Structure 1
Amino acid sequence: MEIQFLGTGAGQPSKSRNTQAIALKLLDERNEIWLFDCGEATQHQILNTTIKPRKIKKIFITHLHGDHIFGLPGFLSSRSFQSSEEQTDLEMYGPVGLKNYVMTSLRLSGSKLGYRIIFHELENGGKIFEDDSFEVYAEPLDHTIFCLGYRVVEKNRVGELDAQGLKEAGLPFGPLFGQVKKGQVVEYKGKIFDPKDFIGQDKIGKIVTILGDTRKSNAAVRLAWGANLLVHEATYEAKESKMARNHGHSTSKQAADVAKEAGVNRLLLTHISARYVGPLVNQLASEAQEVHANAFVVRDFYEEKID
């Protein structure tokens, strides 16, 4: 599981930061990528990465401010233009109004897609997705308009099969190995092969929390509780806390407060105001690190493996 930032700026693009878009790469886990927000020119940013648009199977939108959705029509169209590749349906999650925005943009521009979009418009929080390997939860945050945060929970996976141990114990390689891997007790030539003797401990799933724009809130803490990784906006420095509150945003210190309260392992700060360049970015990082030592201000195209 890896995360890559396609845009890390706040409000509007700058020379150093594009608007918000985050790719959660689940290629090893499920051979797909989930996109969180899609600011203007996200499709251009993708061209500078190894991401293949057809691998993006789900898009989670935090809120309907332009710096988080203006890239959708272009990206969706470009994904459809890849006619040489398989056209796969795409699921989209976000606030009420998302479907109207997307479909109106496509209709007025005469754009036709070669795949379906399945919309899930959300009015409240709760579990919004579950399958055999992942759960996703959403909860409203504290912004100037309805805005969501998302918690991605990987389910625990069965431990590694000790294939060499099975072989040495006398079980021939083949379908019987698969039965043991599935937790079934196998009898072969009068000998019992119990899975608990040949399967290691379960692999603990990872938790990733990606928040939209928000003031410091209890909802953010709940979503981030015990997470391996928290992505939190840090639009302003600490001395601008009043401005942050007036505009529905957080300072880097407030983001670190959330991470500390939630017991988060790693904090990545994004949605940086254009006023912070060069040494001023280090100021944001320093203020966060005073509260949560494992905090970092990300830049466009920054990529990290989630441990």
Structure 2
Amino acid sequence: MTKFCITILGCGSAMPTTLHNPPSQLIEMNDKLFMIDCGEGTQLQMRKFKARMSKLHSVFISHLHGDHIFGLPGLLSTLSLLGRTADLNIYAHKEIDFLINPFLTYMGNHISFKINVIPINPHSEEIIFENSSIKIHSFPLNHRIDSNGFLFEEKKSASHIIREMIDYHKIPYHMIYNIKRGDDFITTEGDVIKNETLTVPGTPSKKYAYCSDTAYDPDVVKYIKNVDLLYHEATFAESENKRAEETYHSTASQAATIAKMAEVKKLVIGHFSSRYNELGVLLKEASLIFPETELASEGKIFEL
């Protein structure tokens, strides 16, 4: 089984505090390291939690509010100082050019790698990255400006052939690949050996969904149905419901309601308002609706 884990680098919101860093996460899948959002101080959090900057494959930016992007210039500069040569893809709304272009002008020829800005669609779901083992989707969220969530999906692996069956039926090596992908085996005598007797199922697909920043919006459920882990913002307690509506954020209860509607396996809440020095009230409100809820915290790792 390949590694699939999420490290929380920051789970605060717009107002800086000494308790929480601005939003950022690292997702490790199949020996690739992806970043979601890059708030101020993100590169320091990577150092603190011993993340390997050299492994960073791509950066995904949910929206262009400062608490989600102000860490990018420092991170990009440090990657160059470390001698990175591989391209870095940044998936974001096209308006991020206002930040990237001045940075490139300032750095001139001193940046050691190419930055590719890949625009994401703020209005519909799309697959923005895919290889043989990973699929990454973006989907629209409901916020004051264009905002997207992300779904990281580890594809289901091929079936595993039963070793004893290879010897018993004298299966040629060149046929194993197709059998693992569903073919039956036909012997030299013409007998058909059904695939289900030759194989056991592969590793099921695992999914992680990220929803921040967003108002309470049941429309998101169709994008995140049955995921193994959901990160959903819970900026406010229910007593601040009106404030949540005004700012297009969610309460902890609303995050839990979305998790319940989507029938996810586990919910992690974050993007906490600076008004909360103690997060017990948020956890309690969410857990009453969706018991499988945990609080995000810097350095916490969730393994799927």
**TM-score (normalizing by structure 2):** 0.89
1:87-145 deviation line (CA, Å, top 9, x unaligned): 22222111121133122223235473322222211243221323332332222212111
Partners of 2:207 and 2:229 within 8 A in 1: yes
Deviates more, 1:53-62 or 1:177-186: 177-186
Give the Cα–Cα distance (whole angstroms) in 2 for the partners of residues 179 and 201 of structure 1: 14
Q: CA deviation at 1:66?
A: 0.7
Q: CA deviation at 1:208?
A: 1.3
Matched, 1:5 2:8: yes
Distance 1:115 1:239, change over 3 A: same
Identity within the alignment, %: 27
Q: Which residue of 2 aligns with 1:68?
A: 68
Q: CA deviation at 1:206?
A: 1.3
Give the Cα–Cα distance (whole angstroms) in 2 for the partners of residues 87 and 219 of structure 1: 41
Q: Which residue of 2 aligns with 1:126?
A: 125
Partners of 2:179 and 2:185 within 8 A in 1: yes
Give the Cα–Cα distance (whole angstroms) in 2 for the partners of residues 222 and 182 of structure 1: 29
Give the Cα–Cα distance (whole angstroms) in 2 for the partners of residues 218 and 71 of structure 1: 31
Q: What is the correspondence of 1:139-288 to structure 2 with a 5 Å cutoff?
A: 139-167=139-167, 169=168, 171=170, 177-178=176-177, 180-181=179-180, 183=182, 195-277=195-277, 280-288=278-286
Give the Cα–Cα distance (whole angstroms) in 1 for the partners of residues 285 and 171 of structure 2: 59
Q: Which residue of 1 aligns with 2:88?
A: 90
Q: Which residue of 1 aligns with 2:44?
A: 44
Partners of 2:126 and 2:139 within 8 A in 1: no
1:33-55 deviation line (CA, Å, top 9, x unaligned): 11110000100000022321222
Q: Which residue of 2 aligns with 1:54?
A: 54
Q: CA deviation at 1:202?
A: 3.4
Deviates more, 1:242-251 or 1:156-165: 156-165
Distance 1:172 1:258, change over 3 A: closer
Deviates more, 1:105-114 or 1:211-220: 105-114
Give the Cα–Cα distance (whole angstroms) in 2 for the partners of residues 185 and 46 of structure 1: 48
Q: Which residue of 2 aligns with 1:112?
A: 110
Partners of 2:151 and 2:208 within 8 A in 1: yes
Partners of 2:7 and 2:25 within 8 A in 1: yes
Deviates more, 1:158-167 or 1:237-246: 158-167
Give the Cα–Cα distance (whole angstroms) in 2 for the partners of residues 193 and 76 of structure 1: 55
Q: CA deviation at 1:79?
A: 1.7
Q: CA deviation at 1:193?
A: 6.6
Amino acid at match of 1:264: V
Q: CA deviation at 1:227?
A: 1.2
Q: Which residue of 2 aligns with 1:300?
A: 298
Partners of 2:125 and 2:140 within 8 A in 1: no
Give the Cα–Cα distance (whole angstroms) in 2 for the partners of residues 164 and 304 of structure 1: 36
Q: CA deviation at 1:161?
A: 2.7
Give the Cα–Cα distance (whole angstroms) in 2 for the partners of residues 21 and 205 of structure 1: 24
Matched, 1:80 2:80: yes
Partners of 1:127 and 1:135 within 8 A in 2: no
1:247-286 deviation line (CA, Å, top 9, x unaligned): 1211111110111111111100111112212xx3111101
**TM-score (normalizing by structure 1):** 0.88
Which residue, out of 25, 28, 36, partners 1:25?
28
**What do you get for the CA RMSD once the two structures are aligned?**
2.3
Amino acid at match of 2:253: K
Deviates more, 1:189-198 or 1:17-26: 189-198
Give the Cα–Cα distance (whole angstroms) in 1 for the partners of residues 55 and 67 of structure 2: 23
Give the gaps of 5 or more residues in structure 2: none
Distance 1:111 1:43, change over 3 A: farther
Give the Cα–Cα distance (whole angstroms) in 1 for the partners of residues 174 and 113 of structure 2: 38
